[in-house]
Amino acid sequence: MKFFLCVIGMVMIVEGIPYFAFPEKMKFWVQKLLEMPESALRRLGFVMMATGLWLVYMGKG
């Protein structure tokens, strides 16, 4: 459970950095996301999940 909480914490830190460092650019990118079709967002989400799974698999070695 400690490891899981550490991982969630690290994800939150990494996800929060762009919003903290570049808030005006993040507003632009969020607007672009709102304009994207759902199918493209679904594909992007799938690619991100598959990449994350691959990274975890490679990290566990």
Average pLDDT over residues 41-47: 96
Write the pLDDT tens digit of every residue in 3-16. Answer: 899 999 999 999 99
Exposed e or buried b per residue across 27-51, where buried means at least 16 C-beta atoms within 10 angstroms of its C-beta? eeeeeeeeeeeeeeeeeeeeeeeee
pLDDT of residue 50: 97
Tell me, what's the pLDDT at 45?
A: 96
Domains contained in the chain, number: 1
The whole domain housing 19 covers 2-60
Q: What is the pLDDT of residues 23-43, one digit of tens each?
A: 999 999 999 999 999 999 999
E strand or H helix at 22: none
Task: Identify the pLDDT of residue 60.
Answer: 86
Instruction: Average the pLDDT over 35-55 and give the result.
Output: 95
